[in-house]
Structure 1
Amino acid sequence: MKVLKFGGTSVANPENINKVKSIVQGKDDGKKVVVVSAFGGVTDVLLDTLRLASEQNLDYHKGLKELEQRHINAIKELLPVQKQSAVLSKVKSDLNVLETLLEGSYLIGEVTPKLSDKIVSYGELLSSFIISEFFIAEGMNATFTDSRQLIVTNENYGKATVDFDKTNSNCQSHFKMAQEQVFVLPGFVASSNSSNSTTLGRGGSDFTAAIIAAAIDATILEIWTDVSGMYTANPKLVKQAKCVSHISYEEAMELSHFGAKVLYPPTIQPVLGKEIPIVIKNTFSPNDEGTRITKNTNGEGKTVRGISHVGNISLLSLEGPGMIGIPGISKRFFETLSMESISVVLITQASSEHSICVAIADEDVDRAVDAVSQAFEFEMARKKIKPVLVEKELTIIALVGDNMKSHQGLSGKMFSTLGRNNVNIRAIAQGASERNISAVIKKSDVKKALNSLHEEFFEENIKQLNLFVMGVGNVGSKFLEQIRQQREYLKDELQLNLRVIGISNSRTMAFDEEGINLNDWEATLAKGQNADKSKFFDIVTALNFRNSVFVDNTASNLVADSYPDYLKNSIAVVTCNKIACSSDYGFYQELKQLSKKYNAPFLFETNVGAGLPIIDTLKNLIASGDKVNKIQAVLSGSLNFVFNNFNDHVTFHDIVKQAQEQGYTEPDPTIDLSGIDVMRKILILARESGNQLDIGQIENESFLPKESLETNSNAAFFETLKKNEAGFQSLYKKASEVDSKLKYVAQFEDGKAKVGLQNIPKGHDFYNLEGSDNIVLFFTERYPNQPLIIKGAGAGAEVTASGIFADIIRIGNF
């Protein structure tokens, strides 16, 4: 014999009830017990109607009318006209009794637990009767059986305790004698020895089905609901969650205790001893495999089988020097909570016995604080125990798996994953069985925590990075295009899933929690809200995504100033903006320290040499114990382009204008030609070599006339270039006379740095540097005579974007 239970959504309306009929008919010809819940939402309506009646609010009649209409409509849709009369008569009779009960509550202005159970039971009683009559009308050999005739409980109304001896005897005799093939029963309801209606608590229909399955030694218990089994995490919060095909009783109990709503925790207890399999199936996708729950899984699947959570939790802490070494403190504490019928979800106690911390439901906090404060009033008055400490707005997350105990390092993996994503852990608990590792975190961090852990334990090492991009001009647009082109490759080959969640230019900004479509990002941005750097940051932090990366493609001081805020929230920063790393040394150091403290990468490879691996190579040299003695470099792609193309046949003005138009210079070309950009770059290299230096200490031998440096617009700047053409031609002529080329060179040696235009003779490493290329010579203790040389394209939107992209990939590989 099989037992099938159908939840409220499965029987919410006639259409769904027809699906239930097809499932029941599709089973083999053996006897079947079908346990059903109330029509979806009916129990809530009953409770609300009862509340209104007890408050002597006549609006309770509206709820009663709604219930009557819904059940009558169901009868008329499900049954042929000639079959309706008797069923309507019975249902209306029951509704009349229900009305009388509600009227009684209205008259006395209160509700008792006993009356509440009697009223709430009508949801299941009505649905099961109507469904049984529908089955009969459809030609099935079915009958209605009132669960109150089978399941006997005490009179603890609202959550009655089952008398299994009497219940098992009733079930065995009833189903043995009955001749029908299909028995339709109301879930959730039972009766006491005095024949008073009782209920089995939240999820009681699951429990009803399990009680009957165990009593009659059913071959299987099927729980039909609106999801296709138990998932590795809540699929509403973790879109990558997968259905677990096979799980043990113990694992299922742990997951259901910690928020897996698909199964009521006590359901497993009755069938566990008899090893009756439980299968969770989807009424709306009956062909899905679902989840099978049995004694053990024989090591199937992953070590961690699921990640669950329970919300609306508060932490209650009792601590003080008067607790140390004093027997009975814990007993008094838990006894006090027990006397108030307050359930403790999690316990943690310091080995010093200085504190006890428990997690309880938010709704119980005030009662708990009052009770504990009263119980320890004497100790608190004498300062031996501190006042009760309460922390609210918390959630418990838990890793669950039978095989966790045989694998070392899972706790460390869990906590390091949360730490990397700035999820603060308030309390930890791990049972001796090591089947469950629980942590208490802020409610606001739940989605990020679940997704981070799911990615770590279930997603085959595919790491998702969530990008927030500020600046989508030349460099930014090329960067987005490179992501679009390489997304599939990164996912397939590097196990990286890049999503651009937010973008902004100077006018508008746009966000999409599912990821912005990079085929049409310009249109998305055009429809966005007004750009606001502060609001951009607020949205990034409010979204609170795991593995978040802020990408700065601007040259803005204000944006650079915001880096500490991102790093403090464990949001990585990738930037081609040189301002932060070349500003005051204290700010540079602060960014480095925040990156370490909050485990948030701060990468700026493109600050020097665009896409060339200059900074990364320097970091590796220093990390491996080498020491930099001297750096010589041509670090301005724009200036190299200018002097490679400038000669006595073209004007200096025209070449600079060409460099600007081709994207080699900054928007303000003065930054490049004045040497400021090169000064910033050599400063960054000096700092990354381990030296403390500020930009004011760098000697700048400028080749520009003073009036060019003092202009306040690009137009004025270019006019001065025309005016001083003779001076530029003179520089070219002097270099040509000694068979040299003009190169703007940066040098750092003996703690000092300088930049300036130099005549480079033939044979020098800089002489044949073409186009907009950069070159860096590192003279170190390992490379004292023949330097380590890095050379290549050092300017342009494409290569700069690729350098930013490379930094993103580095973060993905951290």
Structure 2
Amino acid sequence: MKVLKFGGSSVASSENINKVIRIVKENSFKNNVAVVVSALGGVTDLLLESGKLACEGNEDYKNSFKTIEERHIEVVRELIPVNGQSSVLGQIKLMLNKLENTLEGVFLINELSAKTSDKIVSYGELFSSYIIAEAMKSKELDAVLKNSQELIVTDENFSNAAVIFNKTEKNIQNFFNKNKAKVVMLPGFVAKTEQGEVSTLGRGGSDYTAAIIASSVDASILEIWTDVSGMFTANPKFVRQAFPIKSISYQEAMELSHFGAKVLYPPTIQPVLEKEIPICIKNTFDAKAEGTLITKVSSNHEPIKGISHIENMALLTLEGSGMIGIPGFSKRLFGCLASNKINISLITQASSEHSICFAISNNDAERAENIINDEFSYEIERNKIDPVIVEKDKAIIAVVGDNMKSHQGISGKMFSTLGKNNVNIIAIAQGASEKNISAVIDHKDIKKALNTLHSEFFENQTKQLNLFVVGVGNVGGKLLEQIKQQQQYLLDNLKLQVRVIALTNSKKMYFNEDGIDLENWQNQLPKGEALDMDLFHKKVTDLNYRNSIFVDNTANENVSKLYASYLKESVAVVTCNKIACSSNYTNYLNLKQLAREYNAPFLFETNVGAGLPIIDTLKNLIASGDKVTKIQAVLSGSLNFVFNNFNSETSFAEVVDQAGIQGYTEPDPRIDLSGVDVMRKILILARESGTKLELSDIENDSFLPKASLDADSVPDFLETLKSEAAHFNKIYEKAAANDCRLKFVAEFDNGKSKVGLNEIPSDHPFYNLDGSDNIVLFFTERYPIQPLIIKGAGAGADVTASGLFADIIRIGNN
């Protein structure tokens, strides 16, 4: 015989019930079948609500009752042929009348005992089992309805009754030995006491009913039919990559169920465990899916079978020197909680016996606090122990697997993986059997923790990067283009899944939690909401994605001031914006410190030389023990372009205009031509080489005439380039007469720095620097005579975007 149990979602509508009937019919061809059903989806909650409202004297209970009545009558009319509806509706209305009378009694006396509550909620399963049995008969199945209340006997602990197994098994065996029908329909959850009073089996009671039936009749298998295709490696609502576990042991299933895998109620396993009856978790809506098979020994020998969690937990800590070496202390603590029916999900104790830490439901936290403080009031008054410490809004995350014990490093991998993503572990517990490693974390970190661990243990080491991109102009647009082009390559070759979650321009911001389609981002961004960088930050932190990266493609000072707030949330920062690293030295150091403290990379390679590996090379020199003595560099691709194209035939104003058109200068060319941009770059290199320096310490020998320096606006500035043409021509003619070329040079030497326009002779490395190229000469203790030279394209959207992209990949490979 097979036992099939169908949950509330499987029987939530007539359409779903027809799927159930088809599944039962297929199974009954070769086997006798016992079918256990829950109440129609949502009905149990309606019954509880109606009872509560009636007890409060609130006549709205009648509305809840009316909804229950209409729901069941509608299902009858949709399932049962017209010629058979009359008798079925008559029986349903008779049952509804009894329910209504019970609710009216509760309303009149304003009292709802656990016993009466059981009577009310039991109607859900009684309704559904009767209707479905009649629907099966109408489809010519050889089916019979048997009320589980006539089989399952319990004690009088109403709402969570304990089964009296010897009497229950005898009843079940007697019935099935005499039964001739192929299909027996039974309501789950419901039972009766020895005195014949209605009782229920508590949360997950329908699963429990099915397990009791299966155990009593020595069923070949117990199938739990639900709305998912088995037990998953993690909750698929949180982890999109989660997948069904094909095979799992009873112990593993119990551990996962205890820690929140809701497809199976933990006590369900116990009746079938002793007889080693397999359990299969199946999907009503995908009947051909393999599901999860639960047996004594799993056929899958992987060390980790699943990751589960419990939400909305509170962590309570009792500590004090008065606990050390005192016999019976733990007994008093847990005894007072047990006597008040407070369930404990996790316990950990310091080896010094100085403290005990345990996790319970948030809902019980305040009550538990009062109970414990009352129990130990004598010790608290005498300062032997402290009042209990309560931390709410926590969660327990658990890694489960029978074979963890024989694999070294599982716990190390778990905790290091969480640590790398700045998921703070508040408490840890591991049983002696080593089938489960549990950790208490902040509730807000659940999704990040589950995804991080799932990626580490199940996803072939693919690492997901989640980008939040500010600025989609020249550089930002090229970056998105490069990411789109390389997405598949990165996945295939580097095991990096790069997703862009958010984009902004100067007016709009657009979020897509599943990743923005980079083929169509130009059409999606205008549909976003108005740009609000504070709201943008809140959305990023609320999402709390693993491996989050804030990418700043702007030159905006206000955006650069947000870096610290992102780093504090363990969000990496990648930027081509030079303002932060060239701001006051204290802020620069603070950002570097925050990056280390919160394990959030702060990368700004493109601050100097666009895509050239200048900063990275400098970091490697310093890290390897070398010391920089002098830096000479041409660091402005814009200025190099300008002076490479400025000659006797082309005016200075024309060249600057051309540089702007080709994107080499900022929209405000004064930033480039004033030398401020180069000052920022040499400042960053000086700081990265280990020198404390401020922007104001750098000497700037400007080549601009006073009229240009004093210009109030960009148009006025551009006009001075024309009116002061003689000034610029004189500079060019002097250099040409000396057989030199003009280069705007930055220099750092023995702690001092300066920038200015220099005449470069033909034998100097800077002389043949073409186009918008940059060049840097590092003189160090290891390179004292012949410097280490880095040279290449130092400006332009493409190379700057590639530098940003390289920093993103660097984070992914870390």
Give the TM bin, normalised by the shorter chain: over 0.9
Q: 1:702 and 1:364 mapped to 2: Cα distance?
A: 71
Offset of residue 278 of structure 1:
0.8
8 Å contact from structure 1 (residues 678, 755) kept in 2: yes
Partner of 1:510: 510
8 Å contact from structure 2 (residues 248, 299) kept in 1: no
Partner of 1:523: 523
Cα displacement string for residues 263-291 of structure 1 (whole angstroms, at most 9, x for unaligned residues): 11111111112111111111111011111
Partner of 1:780: 780
Structure 1 runs of 4+ off > 4 angstroms?
none
Aligned residue type for 1:588: Y
Q: 1:377 and 1:215 mapped to 2: Cα distance?
A: 49
Structure 2's unaligned 5+ residue stretches are none
Offset of residue 299 of structure 1:
4.1
Partner of 1:66: 67
8 Å contact from structure 1 (residues 420, 570) kept in 2: no
Aligned residue type for 1:465: L
Aligned residue type for 1:280: I
Aligned residue type for 1:613: P
Partner of 2:565: 565
8 Å contact from structure 1 (residues 299, 403) kept in 2: no
Cα displacement string for residues 539-569 of structure 1 (whole angstroms, at most 9, x for unaligned residues): 2222222211111111122221221111111
Aligned-pair identity in percent equals 64
What are the residue-to-residue correspondences of 1:378-777 with 2, within 5 Å?
Answer: 378-777=378-777
Aligned residue type for 1:788: L
Offset of residue 515 of structure 1:
2.1
**Matching of residue 309 in structure 1 with residue 295 in structure 2:** no
Partner of 1:131: 132
Task: Decide whether aligned partners of structure 1 residues 508 and 86 sit closer, same or farther in structure 2, where only a CA change above 3 A counts.
Answer: closer
Partner of 1:49: 50
Partner of 2:294: 293
TM-score in terms of structure 2 length:
0.97
Q: Which moved more, 1:225-234 or 1:491-500?
A: 491-500
Offset of residue 805 of structure 1:
0.8
Aligned residue type for 1:670: R
What are the residue-to-residue correspondences of 1:135-284 with 2, within 5 Å?
Answer: 135-284=136-285
8 Å contact from structure 1 (residues 319, 385) kept in 2: yes
Partner of 2:120: 119
Cα displacement string for residues 663-685 of structure 1 (whole angstroms, at most 9, x for unaligned residues): 11122212222222112111111
TM-score in terms of structure 1 length:
0.97
Aligned residue type for 2:701: E
Partner of 2:334: 334
Q: 1:509 and 1:132 mapped to 2: Cα distance?
A: 55
8 Å contact from structure 2 (residues 248, 300) kept in 1: no
Q: 2:11 and 2:680 mapped to 1: Cα distance?
A: 70
Aligned residue type for 2:113: T
Structure 1's unaligned 5+ residue stretches are none
Partner of 1:95: 96
SS of residue matched to 1:550: strand
RMSD: 1.7
SS of residue matched to 1:9: helix
Task: Decide whether aligned partners of structure 1 residues 728 and 73 sit closer, same or farther in structure 2, where only a CA change above 3 A counts.
Answer: closer
SS of residue matched to 1:338: helix
SS of residue matched to 1:307: strand
Aligned residue type for 1:643: F
Offset of residue 424 of structure 1:
2.4
8 Å contact from structure 1 (residues 200, 207) kept in 2: yes
Q: 1:565 and 1:67 mapped to 2: Cα distance?
A: 51
Partner of 1:80: 81
Q: Which moved more, 1:339-348 or 1:97-106?
A: 97-106
8 Å contact from structure 2 (residues 476, 553) kept in 1: yes
SS of residue matched to 2:10: coil
SS of residue matched to 2:316: strand
Q: 1:70 and 1:578 mapped to 2: Cα distance?
A: 64
Q: 2:403 and 2:709 mapped to 1: Cα distance?
A: 70
SS of residue matched to 2:791: strand
Aligned residue type for 1:769: L
Q: 1:638 and 1:616 mapped to 2: Cα distance?
A: 22
Q: 2:64 and 2:692 mapped to 1: Cα distance?
A: 76
Aligned residue type for 2:718: F
Aligned residue type for 1:378: Y
Aligned residue type for 1:403: N
Count of residue pairs brought into register by the alignment: 813
Q: Which moved more, 1:535-544 or 1:246-255?
A: 535-544
Task: Decide whether aligned partners of structure 1 residues 92 and 527 sit closer, same or farther in structure 2, where only a CA change above 3 A counts.
Answer: closer
SS of residue matched to 2:444: helix
Cα displacement string for residues 55-84 of structure 1 (whole angstroms, at most 9, x for unaligned residues): 233333333333333323333332233433
Q: Which moved more, 1:546-555 or 1:513-522?
A: 513-522
8 Å contact from structure 1 (residues 467, 502) kept in 2: yes
Q: Which moved more, 1:404-413 or 1:34-43?
A: 404-413
Cα displacement string for residues 111-131 of structure 1 (whole angstroms, at most 9, x for unaligned residues): 111122122112112211222
**Matching of residue 11 in structure 1 with residue 38 in structure 2:** no
Aligned residue type for 2:505: N
Aligned residue type for 1:80: P
Aligned residue type for 1:70: R
Offset of residue 224 of structure 1:
0.5
Q: 1:620 and 1:703 mapped to 2: Cα distance?
A: 35
Offset of residue 212 of structure 1:
1.0
Q: 1:420 and 1:521 mapped to 2: Cα distance?
A: 31
Q: Which moved more, 1:346-355 or 1:655-664?
A: 346-355
Q: 1:637 and 1:56 mapped to 2: Cα distance?
A: 80
Q: 1:601 and 1:332 mapped to 2: Cα distance?
A: 48
SS of residue matched to 1:581: coil
8 Å contact from structure 1 (residues 340, 367) kept in 2: no
Aligned residue type for 1:473: G
Q: 1:67 and 1:713 mapped to 2: Cα distance?
A: 73
Aligned residue type for 1:662: Q
Q: Which moved more, 1:755-764 or 1:332-341?
A: 755-764
